Every structure is written in structure tokens, then in C-alpha cells.
């Protein structure tokens, strides 16, 4: 197999716990909470059904799980309140789906909201809708399909302008049919947004945000040394070995999370809701998507055209192999893991894709997976989340296995493996050990992995000495935090963008200084430079370029900068459009 997805940096998003105050829409009593449509939910025959999908195209992984709509006559009486739809169980993949029974009438979208609570506090983020988004009508006994709405925080200097944009209409009823197949309706009873004069402006806004991604789910180094960056709503950006930039995309609004290319130039990409696309060299994209309940975790593509897929489905991880032929793709299930009763691996399978799974008792969800290779051995990390846990405050369990990449047979489970992640860092790999609950620093520990698989701890401190005239004050040990994985140009030489945090009298008085450090001993010690990144939020290092330091403003502006002198000066090599 050729090609492997490299997750080169770890993003940390602190949770902000807020107090519910009167101007925040959503405190108890201010809205009508509508039950999510389920097989057991009674549907009032005098109501209609509203269904929508929301895609989060920002760098914040917390999905929007509340969808509030305003009735046309909201201000006529204090008894008339906004209606709030709740998402079906969200994942940290940027997409959420809503469907609820709603009283007939004319409505507009009020806001989308990410709200999560664990009993001690809550996280709250609200994005209001613009009136140009449009209006819609709910009719008795009929369905109103609002399609896909995309949240995009448009950069404006040091601030953002929150945008909610309607994606162009695809097949009406698609969301309802895929996610709520138990609900029967007829095509003649399917409604959408009201037609108005803003259609062209909305389409222009959609095209602009599609072509200007702010964040990327993963980076991938192809066999020809091109680097691919996978974004939201079907977008991928390519940096050629000559440093040229190309924009490509597939016909989907789903985010892309996995990619693979072989030495022939064939390409395959996949992502949420089973989105899967294949393109032969110099050919066009072909849609070979799986069922909507599959999430593509990883892809591999052999030089003979076989595609290996790791796809999660709530409680199961399935590994398929197939090849694109004129008649389509015939998938073979090589192995599977279930986190339900009787959990474990089964690699004596001769079944085909989409075979019904046994109805085991539900126990835990597949949370995420990771593939890496150390010292010739292939490893698969499988993380699961309690069925009763919240997507944000999740209690995550982790298992590590070695496997044979030829047939995906699990060789053994690895016990007492302290590293929680392996990331590429240029000329070396780095292992990251998650900080324990009782850790004094609360920071992860980094290890440089040598060619033989040995691990050497990387320092996250420097010794700073201040001079006072001719006298040297005592040196002080000062801690820092990596903003992304360091970039190693060789086994021992590396550059790192780090943050030094100064704490004042309160938490809100904290100040972080961003600096560039260098090491010549593999990270045992670091030296401060006078160099800085182009801005404090452009700190995500791309480790796959060997002759220069390439960074991008992940989650901020999406711009790319490069430096040939370790950050002493910078050139902007890809800039987002100003729209």
C-alpha cells in the first residue's frame, strides 16, 4: 500500500463555561423545546415536519446541536415563543441533523446554537441568522425541508463576521430519507424555502466560502510529494512539489476526512455521511459513496487500484477492500470491530458491504481511530465513548492493536502503551502522551521517536536569565506549550512555534507570548530566537516540506506563509479571497 494520512498537529479547544443571562436566547421558558423525530415520537396530525442539516465550517470542533426558528407573529403576544429543534446525537465531525414536528405557519431561522452541559457548568455559542437567509412555511401534514445550512466565520481583520449560508439545493427530502427512514411522506407534500430576490447573492456567498476554507481536517503527503489539505464541504487544496497551489473539490457538502493516492496518480477521498469519491489520473471524480451512517476514518490505495477503507458506524468499525470497475465497486469486508456486547474483532468474514449487523445491546460508540507505523510495525488505535456520555464531556477509552496491512488481521493487542498519539514532525515522528488527571502541569508530554522506535523525551522548558548591569540574575526555568508539532529538518535540528503564558491576578489576566525556538540536540534543550510567526494565530506547521518552514493560519484565515530562514522573514504564498 502507498500513502498514509498524517495528522501533523493536535488542536486544543478550551471549553468556555458561561452563566445564562437574560439576553442569551435559550434560558428556560424563553423557547418551546421540540422533541426530535423518532420512531417512538408521536406526530400531531395538525402539525408539519421541519428538517435541516447544519455544517460547521469553522475550526471549532463542537457541533451545533440546537436550531431555533421564529414564527412570523412572534411579537404579537408574550405567549408566542420561538421553537427550538434539537439535533440527533452529534459527533465531533462538524455536521448535525434536525427534524421535529412544528405548528403550521410562516417562519424564519433565528439562530443555531452549540450548547453542552455536564452539571457543573455549560458551554454556549450562539450564531444568529440574517434576514437574507429567507423564510419558509410549515403546512399541516407536510414536510418542510430546509436542506443544508453552513456556518462560516468570515475573517475581517482581527475579528469574525458570522455567516449562515444556504447550500444549493440537492435532492429534496435527502436528509429525511437518510436519517429518518421510518417517517413516510409523499413528494407532493415536500416544501422548502420561499422563493425571493436573494437567491443569486446566497449562491455567490456559498461559492466564496467553498473556495476559501478556514480549516483542514487533515494533511496528506502523496507519493509524488504533493501535499493535500482536506477541508469542509468537499474542498481539497493541493500544494505541488514545485510550491504551486491548486484548488479542487467533489460534488458534496460533506466534509472530507480521509484521502489516499497511488503512484499512478489515482486519487480517492472520503468523509462524513459515507461520502466517497474516486478519480483516476487525468480523469473526473466518480461518486462511489457508502451508506450515510458510515464515517470514513482512513483510506489507502494500492498501485493496482485496490481501495482499503476504515469506516465507523456508531458501534462498529468496518474494514473494506474494493476496486473501481465499470460495473461499480464490489466491496469485501476484511475485518470488523464491534463495541457492543460480545465486543472485539472478527476477521473470519466473507460478507459484503452493508450487511445487517446483529442486534447487540448498545454499549459504546466508536469515537475515533488512528493509524501509524513505528519500527516496521503497523498500529491501529481505537477509541470509544460511553453510550451515555456527552459528545463534549466524553469518557474516552482507548485500545491499541498491531495489524497486518495486507489482510487487516489483528495480530495482538498492545498493553501499557503510554502514547496517545503519533504525529509526523518532518524528519522524525513524535509521540504524545496525554497529561493525566492529576498532572501538575496539565500539558502533554512529547517524545522524539528515533529510526529504531526508541523514545526520547522532548523538553518543554527553557532557562531564561536576565542581566542587571554587569550582574547576572539567577536563571529561571520557564515552561512553554507547543502551538503545533515542532518541525525537524534532521534527526536533531528543529524549529518550534510555542506559547509562553504569564498569569496575572486572575484567569482573565493571562497573557500568552508567541515565540520561535530552535534546538540542535533533538529537543533536549531549546534556544530562544528573535523570530516570530507572521501573526499570533498563524502557528500550524506543515511538516512535509523539507527545504522551508511552511505554516498556515488554521481556523483563523486559512492563509499560508513560508520562511527559508527559520521565521526571520515570511512570504505569504496562499491568501484567501476578500469577499
Give residue 61's pLDDT: 80
What is the model's pTM?
0.87
H helix runs in 193-352, sequence order: 199-210
CA 568 to chain centre: 32
Contact 111, 290 (CB under 8 A): no
Q: Where are the domains of the chain?
A: 32-210, 216-417, 426-579
Is 80 exceeded by the pLDDT of residue 519? yes
Contact 34, 83 (CB under 8 A): yes
For the chain, what is the mean pLDDT? 85
Q: What is the pLDDT of residues 226-235, one digit of tens each?
A: 999 998 889 9
Give residue 17's pLDDT: 35
- Provide the 10 A C-beta neighbour count for residue 356: 6
Is 90 exceeded by the pLDDT of residue 549? yes
Contact 486, 523 (CB under 8 A): yes
Report how far residue 76's alpha carbon sits from residue 78's, in angstroms, rounded to the nearest whole number.
Answer: 7
Please choose, from the candidates 229, 295, 53, 256, the residue with its C-alpha nearest in 3D space to the C-alpha of residue 150.
Answer: 53
What is the fold of 32-210? Immunoglobulin-like (2.60.40)
- pLDDT category, 356, cuts 50, 70, 90? very low
Report how far residue 356's alpha carbon sits from residue 359's, in angstroms, rounded to the nearest whole number.
Answer: 9
Please choose, from the candidates 212, 214, 210, the residue with its C-alpha nearest in 3D space to the C-alpha of residue 234.
Answer: 210
C-alpha atoms less than 13 angstroms from C-alpha of 388 in its C-beta half-sphere:
0
Pairing assessment for the beta strands 32-34 and 83-86 based on DSSP bridges = parallel
Please choose, from the candidates 187, 145, 164, 165, the residue with its C-alpha nearest in 3D space to the C-alpha of residue 37.
Answer: 145
Give residue 508's pLDDT: 58
Which of 49-63, 454-468, 550-564 bottoms out in mean pLDDT, i.e. has the lowest?
454-468
Is 80 exceeded by the pLDDT of residue 534? yes
Q: Cell 458510515 maps to which residue?
A: 294
Q: What is the pLDDT of residues 1-49, one digit of tens each?
A: 333 333 333 343 333 333 333 333 445 468 999 999 999 888 888 999 9
Give residue 116's pLDDT: 86
Q: What is the pLDDT of residues 187-226, one digit of tens each?
A: 888 999 999 888 889 999 999 998 899 999 889 999 999 9
The CATH code for residues 216-417 is 2.120.10
Please choose, from the candidates 275, 278, 245, 247, the residue with its C-alpha nearest in 3D space to the C-alpha of residue 261.
Answer: 278
Report how far residue 553's alpha carbon sits from residue 561's, in angstroms, rounded to the nearest whole number.
Answer: 8
SS3 at position 131: helix
Q: Which grid cell is 317? A: 468499525
Give residue 354's pLDDT: 40
Q: Return the beta strands (E) in 186-288 as ranges.
A: 190-191, 218-221, 227-230, 235-239, 245-249, 256-261, 267-271, 276-279, 286-287
Q: What is the pLDDT of residues 84-101, one digit of tens each?
A: 999 988 776 678 999 999
Amino acid at each position: 500500500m502507498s500513502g498514509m494520512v498524517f495528522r501533523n498537529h493536535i488542536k486544543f479547544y478550551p471549553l468556555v463555561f458561561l452563566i445564562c443571562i437574560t439576553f442569551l436566547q435559550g434560558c428556560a421558558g424563553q423557547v418551546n423545546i421540540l422533541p426530535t423525530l423518532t420512531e417512538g415520537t408521536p406526530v400531531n396530525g395538525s402539525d408539519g415536519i421541519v428538517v435541516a442539516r447544519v455544517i460547521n465550517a469553522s475550526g471549532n470542533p463542537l457541533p451545533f446541536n440546537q436550531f431555533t426558528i421564529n414564527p412570523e407573529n412572534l411579537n404579537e403576544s408574550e405567549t408566542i415563543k420561538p421553537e427550538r429543534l434539537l439535533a440527533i446525537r452529534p459527533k465531533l465531525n462538524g455536521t448535525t441533523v434536525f427534524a421535529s414536528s412544528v405548528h403550521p405557519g410562516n417562519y424564519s431561522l433565528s439562530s443555531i446554537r452549540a450548547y453542552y452541559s455536564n452539571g457543573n457548568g455549560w458551554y454556549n455559542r450562539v450564531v444568529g441568522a440574517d434576514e437574507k437567509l429567507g423564510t419558509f412555511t410549515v403546512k399541516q401534514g407536510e414536510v418542510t425541508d430546509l436542506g443544508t445550512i453552513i456556518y462560516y466565520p468570515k475573517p475581517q481583520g482581527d475579528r469574525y463576521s458570522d455567516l449562515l449560508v444556504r447550500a444549493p439545493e440537492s435532492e429534496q427530502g435527502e436528509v429525511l430519507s437518510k436519517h429518518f427512514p421510518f417517517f413516510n411522506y409523499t413528494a407532493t407534500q415536500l416544501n422548502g424555502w420561499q422563493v425571493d430576490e436573494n437567491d443569486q447573492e446566497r449562491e455567490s456567498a456559498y461559492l466564496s466560502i467553498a473556495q476559501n476554507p478556514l480549516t483542514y481536517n487533515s494533511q496528506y503527503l502523496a507519493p509524488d510529494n504533493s501535499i493535500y489539505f482536506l477541508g469542509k464541504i468537499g474542498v481539497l487544496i493541493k500544494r505541488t512539489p514545485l510550491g504551486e497551489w491548486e484548488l479542487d473539490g467533489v460534488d458534496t457538502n460533506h466534509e472530507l476526512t480521509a484521502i489516499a493516492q497511488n503512484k499512478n496518480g489515482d486519487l480517492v477521498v472520503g468523509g462524513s455521511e459515507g461520502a466517497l469519491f474516486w478519480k483516476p489520473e487525468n480523469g473526473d471524480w466518480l461518486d462511489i459513496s457508502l451508506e450515510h451512517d458510515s464515517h470514513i476514518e482512513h483510506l489507502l490505495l494500492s498501485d493496482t487500484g485496490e481501495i482499503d477503507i476504515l469506516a465507523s458506524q456508531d458501534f462498529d468499525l468496518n474494514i473494506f477492500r474494493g476496486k473501481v470497475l465499470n460495473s461499480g465497486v464490489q466491496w469485501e469486508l476484511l475485518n470488523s470491530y464491534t463495541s457492543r456486547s460480545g465486543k472485539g474483532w472478527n476477521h473470519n468474514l466473507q460478507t459484503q458491504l452493508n450487511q445487517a449487523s446483529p442486534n447487540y445491546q448498545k454499549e459504546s460508540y466508536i469515537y475515533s481511530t488512528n493509524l501509524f507505523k513505528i519500527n516496521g510495525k503497523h498500529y491501529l488505535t481505537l477509541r470509544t465513548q460511553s453510550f451515555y456520555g456527552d459528545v463534549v464531556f466524553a469518557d474516552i477509552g482507548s485500545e491499541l492493536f498491531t495489524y497486518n496491512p495486507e489482510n487487516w488481521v489483528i495480530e495482538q493487542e498492545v498493553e501499557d502503551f503510554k502514547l496517545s498519539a503519533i504525529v509526523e514532525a518532518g524528519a522524525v515522528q513524535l509521540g504524545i502522551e496525554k497529561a493525566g488527571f492529576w498532572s501538575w502541569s496539565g500539558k502533554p508530554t512529547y517524545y522524539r521517536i528515533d529510526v529504531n522506535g526508541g523514545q526520547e523525551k522532548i523538553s518543554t522548558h527553557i532557562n531564561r536569565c536576565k542581566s542587571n548591569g554587569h550582574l547576572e540574575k539567577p536563571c529561571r526555568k520557564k515552561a512553554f506549550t507547543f502551538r503545533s508539532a515542532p518541525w525537524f529538518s534532521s534527526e536533531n535540528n528543529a524549529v518550534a512555534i510555542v506559547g509562553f503564558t504569564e498569569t496575572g491576578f486572575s484567569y482573565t489576566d493571562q497573557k500568552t507570548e508567541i515565540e520561535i525556538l530552535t534546538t540542535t540536540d533533538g529537543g533536549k534543550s531549546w534556544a530562544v530566537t528573535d523570530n516570530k510567526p507572521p501573526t499570533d494565530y498563524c502557528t500550524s506547521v506543515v511538516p512535509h516540506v523539507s527545504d522551508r518552514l511552511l505554516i498556515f493560519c488554521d481556523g483563523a484565515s486559512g492563509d499560508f506563509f513560508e520562511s527559508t530562514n527559520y521565521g526571520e522573514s515570511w512570504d505569504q504564498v496562499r491568501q484567501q479571497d476578500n469577499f
